[in-house]
Structure 1
């Protein structure tokens, strides 16, 4: 007899013995969370137990701490502009825009692409809502990715949603106020800390670089108090740069520091409301912080455990096999991107490896560190990646394949070429209509060079983006191409 049958039989027997009918006994209602006993901070737990809770807290809270520290750094900008001349930065409540592709030497965000012109801004939407402008982009692909502190997207704004030009209001969960006339739509963030990352497609020609300038100059955001109903404009190409003495290094800027994590963790718990079912987890984490506050030895233990979790759990997320799910032919594809819910694994993995994904319907990502035979991609070798005729990623927007070094950044090269795809007007196709792209440290020569992605001498990875994918992208029936070792 299975467990369900045992419960039913027990209910029937109980009512029969009581002289009642054989109708099933009603189960008592589950208690409300507020009525449950809470953990006591007066206990004396073992260090091992404290470490186990701390490790869970570190992995769970990593993306939200990442967002908190990015906002703290980026909003130090005295005005909208380019931090270190390479990264959009602005005071809280505003955004800044690039005026071309992102520079290869930036280290603020891993896995950038050179298909779009980016913007970036961070907000405190309960303190004051923000108005963000959407100019008339015509047929050009555009999407404004709006992220809450969990790195989930909120709101729908862009070409895939049929958004009209106009003014859009971003508000926090606790804001109460009047929406003025002239606002085209309201986007509600579930957390006060939020940001926006506009992405506007640009092809790889001087003509399109010129054509996009008046459009991106109208991509402006500002506090609601500054809204007038008239489009503001900033010439982003001439916006003054912002000095950045911290710029440098090969890896991404370290936004989460294990030694400092638990000094800020209670702030994260207070800022981010629990999702349904997370209340018990929040109670355990708050208990952890209360216990260690009274015991310096236990506080030292959780700081030590944070360092171990960073090395043993967070760092391995840089390997693409730990991100998403298999997509065929040695590739992985993203799962639940930017709509993580309680998928803590993929949310934290993406926050470490390629933070700020778009939603699946906006972009699907495919990535690999290996060739079709399972060998590690190495620039000292040469690879051919062939899309059969009609088998390039089926998209309504655009697609690209980007090459990254082992740190998930661009490899500097004389061609200043880091990705190939829809944006490129000089790709050469094979006689049968197929498209072969090449990757390696050495040029394949001749006409093939137009289809070549230069690689470092050592390990590298490949990354396909399918923006606004068609059904075959969304349902997984399209598979990425085979990566063949050619020498």
Structure 2
């Protein structure tokens, strides 16, 4: 294979494998170190955030609307029983994500209601029988994640949510299982090839769907199908250099695809309602197995999946929560904390649950510290001031406004460039069919 062909193949492999490597990297980090205010928790145990996300939460595009309850699952030792408490009608979702970042099941207000529930979570290929009356979620990979979100309306609502978290449990169906855990890459592999070593180990441990496994065979010249000793320990210098170039090219393609396309209308919010539609094979409870929610071109879905992992890892399908982001104001100028803006809703987003606008920095998409500890603003924010016509005008700027009404509606921005994101939980049909249009951010 020629050097340019090998480099291009390596770029394809990076795009294909980035979601798994990024996902399982987070699985391992959260399991061992936690995530911001959420303490570390071993496999098959929930870790709970006891306060809403803040700048200490180093997770891309994290939400500030809900308290997270996250469990990393290792099903190699057998199925788990999941107990979910009654939330009394309050919004929550338990999103199930496999090792390839596919959303393969949802439990919660939209999907299964808010009454008390017990489910059995089974590993791939399991053929046992669940306890009587217990419904089953089958995981596509032996390691997976449950990303739980409980709506929390601020500090005064914390006791209610903390009680729900305490009642959320995982227990083995049969004690005494032997667990394989997460295979670790060979520590002797050079750092510049660590990505491919992780992908090699993890793709073998957690095989994808059949059509994806067939696509993976293309990557044999890269060493990604090698078993046993790592091919990256002593690869030929020219071969290694070509793989590194391919990795960089793959990164560049993901970054380019993560930005709005050239010619995007100025000030338009990018509401990619199909960013998480790359799961084409595994449709468990709460998912919609419908052509409307599947990307028809499998190869195109690989880049979409990589972009989703880059800008919003563990995001939901739009039918659960719709997301929209924007990088420019109404005049097409890049958003920056050097300027002041307004965001006026003549009609606020139509949702069955709630909506919010969250502020992130660029390019990391992290929350940014501010003097009032306000990282999002929305229909549950107390004290918002509406216009006489019922409209709602938010003020986006770095410094606190001097006008009291504007201060009440202030969403602080970073000093530098920023990207706000609007989340719409249980969005209405007008959001999903594009009838509802989000207003542009106007410079002042």
- Measured in 2, the distance between the counterparts of 1:373 and 1:112 equals 28
How far the C-alpha of 1:370 sits from its partner, in A, is 0.8
| Contact 2:266-2:328 at 8 Å conserved across structures | no
| Contact 1:404-1:410 at 8 Å conserved across structures | yes
Q: Which structure has the larger Rg over C-alpha atoms?
A: 1
For residues 300-449 of structure 1, what are the structure 2 equivalents within 5 Å? 300-309=240-249, 311-316=251-256, 319=259, 321=260, 329-341=267-279, 342=298, 343-388=301-346, 391-406=347-362, 407-445=364-402, 446-449=404-407
Q: Secondary structure at the match of 1:359?
A: coil
TM-score under structure 1 length normalisation: 0.76
How far the C-alpha of 1:201 sits from its partner, in A, is 0.5
- Measured in 2, the distance between the counterparts of 1:327 and 1:138 equals 43
| Contact 1:126-1:171 at 8 Å conserved across structures | no
Q: Secondary structure at the match of 1:378?
A: coil
For residues 147-186 of structure 1, what are the structure 2 equivalents within 5 Å? 147-163=97-113, 164-181=115-132, 183=134, 185-186=135-136
- Measured in 2, the distance between the counterparts of 1:91 and 1:423 equals 33
- Measured in 2, the distance between the counterparts of 1:169 and 1:328 equals 48
- Measured in 2, the distance between the counterparts of 1:366 and 1:448 equals 24
Change (3 A) 1:328 1:132: farther
- Measured in 2, the distance between the counterparts of 1:326 and 1:360 equals 21
- Measured in 2, the distance between the counterparts of 1:95 and 1:210 equals 18
Change (3 A) 1:174 1:76: farther
Change (3 A) 1:70 1:220: same
Query: Which position in structure 1 is the counterpart of 2:290?
Result: none
How far the C-alpha of 1:372 sits from its partner, in A, is 1.2
Q: Secondary structure at the match of 2:354?
A: strand
* Backbone CA RMSD of aligned residues: 2.6
Change (3 A) 1:454 1:398: same
How far the C-alpha of 1:286 sits from its partner, in A, is 2.7
**Paired positions, count:** 401
| Contact 1:89-1:95 at 8 Å conserved across structures | no
How far the C-alpha of 1:272 sits from its partner, in A, is 4.1
Change (3 A) 1:225 1:76: farther
- Measured in 2, the distance between the counterparts of 1:166 and 1:63 equals 31
For residues 28-427 of structure 1, what are the structure 2 equivalents within 5 Å? 45-76=1-32, 83=34, 86-107=37-58, 109-163=59-113, 164-181=115-132, 183=134, 185-206=135-156, 208-225=157-174, 258-275=192-209, 277-289=211-223, 293=231, 296-309=236-249, 311-316=251-256, 319=259, 321=260, 329-341=267-279, 342=298, 343-388=301-346, 391-406=347-362, 407-427=364-384
Unaligned runs of 5+ in 1: 1-44, 78-82, 228-256
Tell me the alpha carbon deviations over residues 182-214 of structure 1, each in whole angstroms, 9 at most, x when there is no partner: 63x2111212221011001011252x2223222
Query: Which position in structure 1 is the counterpart of 2:285?
Result: none
Higher relative contact order (CA 8 A, sep 6+): 2
Query: Which position in structure 1 is the counterpart of 2:292?
Result: none
- Measured in 1, the distance between the counterparts of 2:332 and 2:163 equals 47
| Contact 2:266-2:331 at 8 Å conserved across structures | no
TM-score under structure 2 length normalisation: 0.83
